[in-house]
Each structure stands twice: as structure tokens, then as C-alpha cells.
């Protein structure tokens, strides 16, 4: 399905009439409600659209259960702009003022919960960390590509989570010090080495951007490999476990699938050098294999 070709269906001031006709055609109580609601709210975008300070958003809409949303479409929203406004702010405004059925995940508003990765003007970005003023209008907001759309901007994350959990994403060691209050030492250098990899917020922007993952459903993907890197490079785990981890990431759908396109690194909102981490693991693997010959 190409979402780009869907004919935008407008619900805003520019063609109120045609939108109304569409709604009249549908007769469920919900459609009636939506129509009334739009009637009430149309005034606010009308007023604000005349002022210069509005942003025009085109937002992807789809709901398998609702008659006029079963065919994916784009809705237009004109949101009054204030300085510093993010794409997430604009979506919240549109939902709270214009259409309460507009659905997207979001929580912390500060780029740490990783809920609101969307495909914004053709690129994976976090809604909360993307300033409207950095974008060209109309701002096109779509769900993350290569993942199944559940509704509007919500995608099914299960497969991404499965990949994350396939790399034994937890610390393991056989080298804990004696004594309950004794910490395991870690050099500052080693902490520094894994630091970037520990910043991952599981937003799936990288995974969505990766062509290899799109073509090979079993490919672990950049986020999961980065998670494996975080542990493989942690000196506290010890050499035996490192070998164990190398075996996991060297599997058929592991690091060797990466073709070094850097798309994951480009879109990562936490600036994690994902491709470099994957490359480093490949080098590690080569070294290891030579050693065992």
C-alpha cells in the first residue's frame, strides 16, 4: 500500500462543504457526532488560518473499524503556531481541539520514553524533538514505515520488541565480587565505550529506516545489535560471555546482513553511532574467528 497516493480528504476550512457532504453520506451515530463536532470546531481553525501563524499538517489516518477510515487517507489540520512548537505539540493540539479520535503514542514529551517516532516529511523523527520551524509545509506526518499500522500513527511494535529481546538483552557475568556491598569495578574508559550504546530509547526509528530489516524480517536490526554491543563491550561481563554474545550476533540474520548504509545512524534521535557499533562487532567477529582457526 502506498500511503503517498491517498487522496487527501479535507476536514478543515478550505473545503468545509465537501467534508460535510462526505459526512452526511455516512449515517452512523458516530458520523453524526463527528459532523456536529466538526461543525463546532471549524470556527477555530477558520479564525486562526487567516492569521499567518498557523502550521499546515497533513496527518495519515487509518482505522480498520471505522467506515470512512478503512481506506487510508490524509487529514489536514491547521494549527496555530507558537514559538518552540514541536510536531507532537501540534498533534496534541489537533487532537484536543479538532478531532479527539486522532491517535498516536506519546508520553514524556522530552525524547526519553521513545513513544513518538513518526515518519515526518519523509524521515523517521521523534515528534517531541522536532520543531515545526525546521520543517517545510505542509508537514506530512505518517506512521513509521515497514511496520504494520494499527491505527492512524500507531504501529505494531511487537516484532521490534521481539528482535530486541532476541539478543539476551540483560547483563550477565560470572565475575561478581565477594560481599553484598562490593561493587564490580569498571574503568572510566570502558564506561565511556558503552555509554552511547546505553542511550537507546527503543523508539524503532532506526529499525524503520533500515532497508535490510524491511527485506529480511528476521534480521535483528540496528537497535537490537546495538543492545548486544552494549553488553559485549562491557568488560564486567567477562570473556566467556563475550564469546557467547558474539555467537548470537554472528547468526545468519545478525551483523553480517548490515550493508553499511548508515540510514539508522542518520535517524537516531539519540545520536548513537549504530553503524559504527555494528562494524566494530563485525571486526570483533573476524578477529575471534581467526583466533579459533
Partner 1 sequence: MYEHDVLVVGAGGAGLRAAIAAHEEGADVAMVTKLHPVRSHTGAAEGGINAALREGDSWESHAYDTMKGSDYLGDAPAIETLCKDAPEDVITLEHWGMPFSREEDGRVSQRPFGGLSFPRTTYAGAETGHHLLHTLYEQVVKRGVTVYDEWYVMNLAVTDEPDPRDRSCHGVVAYDVMTGEVAGFKARNGVILATGGPGQAYDHTTNAVSCTGDGQAMAYRAGVPLEDMEFVQFHPTTLPSTGVLISEGVRGEGGILYNAEGERFMFERGYANNAGELASRDVVSRAELTEVNEGRGIEDEYVHLDMRHLGEERIIDRLENILHLAEDFEGVDGLEEPMPVKPGQHYEMGGIETDENGETCISGLYAAGECACVSVHGANRLGGNALPELIVFGKRAGQHAAGTDLGEARLTTGKAGDVEEGEVDSPVALGEAGISDEAVADGGAATLTDPDEVVEAAVEAERRRVEYLMNKDDGIQHAEIRARVQKAMTKWVNVFRNEEGLKKALREIRAAREDYQHVYVADPSRTFNTDLQQTIETRNVIDIAETITLGALARNEFRGAHWRQEHQERDDENWLKHTMLSWNNGEPELWYKPVLLEGEEKTYEPKIRSY
Residues that bind partner 1 (CB under 8 A): 28-30, 32-34, 36-37, 63-66, 83-84, 95-97, 99-101, 103-115, 129, 150-152, 154, 157, 161, 165, 168-171, 173, 176, 180-188, 191, 194-195, 198-199, 201-202, 231, 234, 236-237
Overall residue count recorded for the chain in this entry: 293
Nearest distance in Å: CB 182, partner 1: 7
Nearer to partner 1, 93 or 119 (CB): 93
Of 256 and 273, the one with the shorter C-beta distance to partner 1 is 273
Please name the residue that has the C-alpha cell 548470537: 248
**Cβ pair 267, 124 in contact under 8 A:** yes
Residue of 155, 153, 157 whose CA lies nearest to 75: 153
| 121 DSSP assignment | T
CB of 290 to partner 1, least distance (A): 29
E strands, 195-240, are: none
Closer CB to partner 1, 138 or 169, in the complex: 169
CB atoms under 10 Å from CB of 253, counted, come to: 17
Cis peptide before 157 (omega within 30 of 0): no
Phi, psi of 226 (to 5 degrees): -60, -40
Q: Please, what is the minimum distance in Å from the beta carbon of residue 256 to partner 1?
A: 25
CB 115 within 8 A of CB 90: no
> How many beta carbons lie within 10 A of that of residue 248, not counting itself?
18
Q: Which is nearer to partner 1, 33 or 283 (CB)?
A: 33
CB of 237 to partner 1, least distance (A): 8
Rounded Cα gap, residues 98 and 47, in angstroms: 13
Nearer to partner 1, 9 or 109 (CB): 109
Strands 54-61 and 73-80: antiparallel
C-beta of 107 vs 217, nearer to partner 1: 107
CB of 234 to partner 1, least distance (A): 7
Task: Compute the least distance from the CB of residue 112 to partner 1, in Å.
Answer: 5
- Among residues 132 and 258, whose Cβ is nearest to partner 1? 132
* Residue 159: how many other CB atoms lie within 10 Å: 18
Contact 115, 95 (CB under 8 A): no
Minimum CB distance to partner 1, residue 9 (Å): 17
Amino acid at each position: 500500500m502506498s500511503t503517498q497516493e491517498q487522496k487527501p480528504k479535507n476536514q478543515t476550512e478550505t473545503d468545509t462543504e465537501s467534508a460535510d457532504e462526505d459526512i452526511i453520506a455516512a449515517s452512523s451515530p458516530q458520523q453524526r457526532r463527528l459532523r456536529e463536532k466538526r461543525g463546532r470546531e471549524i470556527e477555530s481553525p477558520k479564525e486562526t488560518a487567516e492569521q499567518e501563524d498557523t502550521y499546515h499538517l497533513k496527518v495519515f489516518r487509518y482505522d480498520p473499524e471505522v467506515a470512512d477510515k478503512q481506506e487510508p487517507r490524509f487529514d489536514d489540520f491547521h494549527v496555530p503556531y507558537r514559538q518552540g512548537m514541536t510536531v507532537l505539540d501540534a498533534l496534541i493540539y489537533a487532537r484536543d481541539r479538532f478531532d479527539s479520535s486522532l491517535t498516536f503514542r506519546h508520553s514524556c514529551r522530552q525524547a526519553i520514553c521513545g513513544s513518538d517516532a513518526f515518519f515526518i516529511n519523509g524521515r523517521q523523527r521523534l515528534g517531541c524533538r522536532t520543531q515545526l520551524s525546521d520543517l517545510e509545509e505542509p508537514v506530512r506526518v505518517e506512521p513509521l514505515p515497514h511496520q504494520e499500522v494499527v491505527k492512524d500513527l500507531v504501529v505494531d511494535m511487537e516484532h521490534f520488541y521481539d528482535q530486541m529481546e532476541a539478543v539476551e538483552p540483560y547483563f550477565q557475568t560470572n565475575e561478581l565480587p565477594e560481599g553484598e556491598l562490593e561493587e564490580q569495578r569498571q574503568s572510566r574508559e570502558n564506561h565511556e565505550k558503552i555509554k552511547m550504546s546505553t542511550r537507546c530509547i527503543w523508539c524503532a526509528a532506526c529499525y524503520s529506516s533500515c532497508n535490510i530489516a524491511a527485506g529480511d524480517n528476521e534480521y535483528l536490526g540496528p537497535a537490537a545489535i546495538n543492545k548486544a554491543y552494549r553488553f559485549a563491550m562491557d568488560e564486567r561481563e567477562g570473556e566467556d560471555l563475550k564469546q557467547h554474545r558474539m555467537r548470537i550476533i554472528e547468526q545468519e540474520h545478525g551483523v553480517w546482513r548490515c550493508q553499511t548504509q548508515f540510514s539508522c545512524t542518520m535517524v537516531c534521535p539519540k545520536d548513537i553511532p549504530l553503524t559504527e557499533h555494528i562494524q566494530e562487532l563485525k571486526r570483533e567477529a573476524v578477529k575471534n574467528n581467526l583466533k579459533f582457526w
